[in-house]
Homo-oligomer: A and B are copies of this chain.
């Protein structure tokens, strides 16, 4: 019944009907979900990590390869790989001294390419 009660009370600015806002508020995304979502997007929100993911989408590569392809220091690459690995976006495979990295989340990879097309088409 209270859904029918529209219009302002005493205070100004309802924007939209106040009850509707209460409803929206109750159906809001949980904080933990919002943070989890933000964490993955944040991982994709850096040029270096974008390049790493782009390169790994072509083929599995070791750390040294990535330093060549991105023309960056080994330490910087390693730090970013750890970052991406913590979020299960990339995975490792050891072979003797060298460690090969590859993408570990097909869905994220798919979304990455969708956004890439979107940006290129802009």
Residues of A within 8 A of B (CB): 13, 15-16, 20-21, 24-25, 27-29, 31, 33-47, 49-51, 54-55, 58-65, 68-70, 98, 100, 107-108, 111, 114-116, 118-120, 122
Chain B residues, CB < 8 A from A24: 55, 58-59, 61, 65, 69
Contact of A51 among B13, B28, B70 (CB under 8 A): B28
What is the bound-complex CA distance between A68 and B49, given in angstroms? Answer: 35
Quick check: A33 and B68 within 8 Å, CB to CB? no
Number of copies: 2
A-B contact pairs, 8 of them (CB 8 A): A13-B98, A15-B65, A16-B60, A25-B69, A28-B55, A29-B54, A36-B122, A40-B45
Chain B residues, CB < 8 A from A38: 44-47, 49-50
Chain B residues, CB < 8 A from A64: 13, 15
Quick check: B68 and A21 within 8 Å, CB to CB? yes
Contact of A21 among B45, B50, B65, B111 (CB under 8 A): B65
Closest residue of chain B to A63 (Cβ to Cβ) is: B15
Given contacts A28-B54, A40-B118, A111-B111, list 8 more A-B pairs with CB under 8 A. Answer: A15-B63, A16-B60, A21-B65, A24-B55, A24-B58, A38-B49, A43-B45, A44-B45
